[in-house]
């Protein structure tokens, strides 16, 4: 009995020491923890609290009766969604845009960050970074308006140049063939520069002595890039890729909605615009909530699978 009692007392002392140490750390770094409060409040108010509204997807929700009194219908709205004739069109359009974004947009900030990092003139790097960051601060309404002025068939700069060179006008803004390239091109122009920030921050932490040692061993710029720079930011790339998969089916409602018209709707209608049409314009709240929950579950499955795969290959992953 003596030994277990001593062990319990020892455990109590260790626990008390850890609590006092935690309290001292909180007091010492109190201002740092205070800075976390706005971020925590943002996620609690705008991310976690709205999750209670997901019960709407399993109800025949009526605004006047509320969540408590609306009748439960189980998976009725999901069955309706998966049997809709429009489901496969929406799924194809959303999946293609998501894949194109992943293939063409995701690697570009990495390439831009590597190119900027290789520049030796500080002034040149700052100017380039500023020019690349600026489009991020333009709203999608303005961005799409700029592209409309450039690519419209009636007085658009691009089409006027095509005519001057003897070519025919191309209806970029109305064509089904050009819809997806326009969407991806606009996303790259607007957000690729902003995406370089994290990668440039990761590159700034690379030990410069590694480059000096590589140069002494005769390694050129390409070998330094391949054997030092890329491995140094590999974990950052993996983590951002996993997080990107969480919003895989989020193609951007505002962007798509502004580009949609009667001529390209067949290839442009995606889950985000479908939820808007059913939920807000037709007041089918429960049905649109079911569609949104389906998107979120797909993102969750992709994140869990990618994180597990990353750990199998020796990376840290998100958790």
> What pLDDT is attached to residue 94?
92
Q: How many CA atoms lie within 13 A of 88 on its CB side?
A: 2
CATH classification at residue 125: 1.10.3720.10
Please state, in angstroms and rounded to a whole number, the distance separating the CA atoms of residues 9 and 3: 10
List, for residues 235-259, the tens digit of each pLDDT value.
888 888 888 888 888 888 889 999 9
* pTM (2 d.p.): 0.81
CA 109 to chain centre: 13
Residue 281 lies in a domain: yes
What does the pLDDT read at residue 140? 93
Computed on alpha carbons and rounded to an integer, the radius of gyration of the chain in Å comes to 26
Tally of CB atoms within 10 A around 132: 21
Mean pLDDT of the chain: 85
Q: HEC states along 278-311?
A: HHHHCCCHHHHHHHHHHHHHHHHHHHHHHHHHHH
Confidence of residue 283 (pLDDT cuts 50, 70, 90): confident
Backbone angles phi, psi at 59, to 5 degrees: -125, 165
**CA neighbor of 56 nearest in space, from 274, 289, 282, 271:** 289
pLDDT digits (tens, 9 = 90+) for 166-212: 888 888 888 889 999 999 999 999 999 898 988 888 888 887 788 88
Q: What pLDDT score does 137 carry? A: 92
User: Is the Cα dihedral 158, 97, 82, 64 positive or negative?
Assistant: negative
The DSSP code for 59 is B
pLDDT at position 217 is 79
Interval 257-273 mean pLDDT: 89
Number of structural domains (the chain) is 1
Q: Are 60 and 71 in contact (CB under 8 A)?
A: yes
| pLDDT at residue 13 tops 70 | no
| pLDDT at site 41 | 93
Residue 103 located in a structural domain: yes
Share of the chain above pLDDT 70, in %: 93
Residue 23: inside a domain = no
Burial class (CB in 10 A: 0-12, 13-18, 19+), 32: exposed
Q: Is residue 33 part of a domain?
A: no
Helices (H) and strands (E) in the chain — how many of each? 17, 0
Q: Which of 283, 260, 263, 261 is nearest to 272 (CA)?
A: 260
Whether 178 is covered by a domain: the verdict is: no
- Is residue 7 predicted with pLDDT exceeding 60? no
Q: For 61-89, what is each residue's pLDDT tens digit?
A: 888 888 788 888 888 999 999 998 889 99
pLDDT of residue 256: 92
**Sign of the torsion formed by the C-alpha atoms of 192, 195, 199 and 200:** positive
C-alpha to C-alpha distance for 287 and 76, rounded to whole angstroms: 9
| Residue 158 belongs to some domain of the structure | no
What is the average pLDDT across 146-175?
Answer: 88
Cα–Cα distance list, 172 to 166, 191, 259 (Å): 17, 21, 11
What is the domain range of residue 291?
59-139+187-312
pLDDT tens-digit readout, 103-145: 999 999 999 998 888 888 888 888 988 899 999 999 999 999 9
Q: What residues are paired with 59 via a beta bridge?
A: 72
Residue 2 lies in a domain: no
Q: Identify which of 269, 307, 308, 310 has the alpha carbon closest to the alpha carbon of residue 291.
A: 269
How far from chain centre, in Å, is Cα 87?
23
Residue 179 inside a domain? The answer is no
**What is the distance between the alpha carbons of residues 130 and 149, in angstroms, rounded to a whole number?**
24
């Amino acid at each position: 009995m003596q030994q277990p009692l001593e062990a319990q007392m020892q455990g109590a002392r260790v626990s008390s020491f850890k609590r006092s140490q935690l309290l001292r750390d909180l007091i010492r770094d109190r201002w740092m923890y205070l800075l976390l409060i706005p971020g925590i409040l943002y996620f609690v108010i705008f991310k976690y609290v709205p999750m209670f509204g997901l019960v709407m997807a399993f109800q025949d929700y009526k605004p006047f009766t509320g969540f408590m009194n609306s009748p439960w219908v189980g998976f009725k709205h999901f069955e309706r969604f998966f049997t809709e004739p429009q489901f496969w069109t929406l799924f194809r359009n959303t999946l293609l845009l998501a894949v194109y974004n992943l293939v063409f947009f995701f690697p570009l900030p990495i390439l831009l960050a590597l190119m900027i990092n290789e520049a030796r003139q500080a002034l040149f790097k700052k100017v380039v970074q500023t020019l690349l960051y600026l489009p991020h601060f333009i709203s999608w309404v303005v961005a799409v308006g700029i592209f409309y002025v450039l690519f419209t068939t009636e007085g658009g700069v691009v089409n006027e140049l095509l005519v001057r060179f003897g070519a025919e006008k191309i209806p970029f803004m109305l064509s089904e063939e050009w819809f997806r390239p326009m969407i991806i091109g606009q996303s790259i122009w607007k957000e690729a520069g902003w995406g370089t920030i994290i990668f440039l921050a990761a590159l700034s932490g690379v030990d410069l002595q590694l480059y000096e040692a590589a140069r002494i061993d005769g390694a050129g710029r390409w070998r330094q890039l391949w054997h030092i720079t890329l491995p140094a930011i590999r974990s950052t790339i993996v983590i951002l890729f996993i997080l990107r998969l969480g919003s895989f089916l989020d193609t951007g409602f505002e962007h798509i909605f502004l580009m949609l018209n009667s001529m390209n709707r067949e290839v442009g209608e995606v889950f985000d615009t479908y939820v808007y049409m059913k939920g807000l314009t037709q007041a089918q709240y429960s049905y649109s909530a079911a569609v949104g929950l389906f998107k979120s579950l797909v993102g969750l499955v992709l994140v869990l699978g990618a994180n597990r795969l990353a750990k199998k290959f020796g990376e840290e992953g998100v958790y």
